Amino acid sequence: MIGEITATSVRHEPLIARYRGLICDLDGVVYRGATAVPDAVETLNRLTADGVPVVFATNNASRPPEDVGDHLRGLGVVSEGWSVVTSSQAAAAHLAQHLDRGTRVCAVGGPGIARALTEAGLTPVRAAELGEEPVEAVVQGLGFDVTWRELAAVGYLVQAGATWVATNLDPTLPTPHGNAPGNGVLVAAVQAAAGTSPHVVGKPRAALLDLARSRLGTCRPETLVCGDRLDTDIEGANAAGLDSLFVLSGSSRLRDLVFAARSERPTYVAADLAGLLTAGLPLGTTESGDRIGITPDAVLRAENDADNGELLRSVVAAAWAALDSGRAVPDDSGLWSEVEHKLGLVPQLEPRKIT
């Protein structure tokens, strides 16, 4: 965790220079579907060229790490200096600690789940192949072709006493067309039928980030998490005892950040991943909110010499200070959308496709 930081000490220091390793989310941070988020690829290539190791940690369990790696390379990310860990791997690692090697585990979701179970020494079994031989556990993750029969099979196994592990509970999945239903929606359907809850390993639980940090080989104060979701990436970083950078290139918006619960408040905020290469004060410092004020009639008053990054930090810091002291902060969605437009925060995607 960062120590005492002043504006003077970080005025010319890139944010990432304070850390030895980066754990980075993917959907909404590096890409949305087949399209790169602006400046993300260039920033990542700069980091790895400078010797900063990166582990991409994703709650999306549908694909094995090799496929995710192909996606990244297709977008232009260089081939060295990074690795990928998925919530499927975190689920398999959890079960491998509690089950004998070779134990049959039902895998429901994309191919990444079966691959992770196999690599962990367990035997994945698809719902359609269960037969009469029992299984001791079931892993449920995102899959684009998951059927009602598979969801029903998870429910039957859980009700029969099998250990139920869910890779994640994300309610949505960012796509170029908007948010699509995430694994959390499918888990909720099984939960309603089975009347019980799964063990969850993905963000905001700490297991996936702990696995990613073990890959980096860094201690907690040396590790930074970057993500676009307050309720998964940022809450997960806080649960794991790690500093975090919240970026506004994905799912959560500025209004969400302003009114975030304390457990979902990040250490830093930036428009996108390029914020890692710029100087930035932690949101908790007193100087973060000294360039802007929020008047009682919901007018935002800012210093003219501040750049958009400084104004963004100041908006959030001033709003948090007001809320924490019991003062009112306007919650009108239109107002916060207008602030986003003024700060250039409406995400635009580059026409860069997978090759």
Which among 27, 39, 210, 243 is annotated as catalytic?
A: 27
Which token pair is 124? 């994945």
- Please say whether the beta carbons of 30 and 54 come within 8 A: no
In angstroms, how far is CA 83 from the centroid of its own chain? 16
Active-site annotation holds for 27 = yes
Query: What's the alpha-carbon Rg for the chain, to the nearest Å?
Result: 21
Provide the H-helix boundaries in 240-354.
254-258, 308-324, 333-342
Which token pair is 301? 């008053």
In angstroms, how far is CA 136 from the centroid of its own chain? 30
* Rounded Cα gap, residues 246 and 190, in angstroms: 31
* Rounded Cα gap, residues 106 and 117, in angstroms: 10
In the DSSP assignment, the letter for residue 37 is: P
Reference 301, options 292, 310, 309; nearest CA is 292
* Rounded Cα gap, residues 183 and 163, in angstroms: 18
Element of type H or E holding 278: none
Partner residues linked to 47 by β-bridges: none
Mark 133-142 as b/e (b = at least 16 C-beta within 10 Å).
eebbbbbbbb
Written as one letter, the residue type at 314 is S
Burial class (CB in 10 A: 0-12, 13-18, 19+), 282: buried
* Rounded Cα gap, residues 295 and 330, in angstroms: 10
Which token pair is 183? 């694994």
Which among 25, 228, 233, 243 is annotated as catalytic?
A: 25
Active-site annotation holds for 50 = no
- For the annotated catalytic residues, the residue numbers are 25, 27
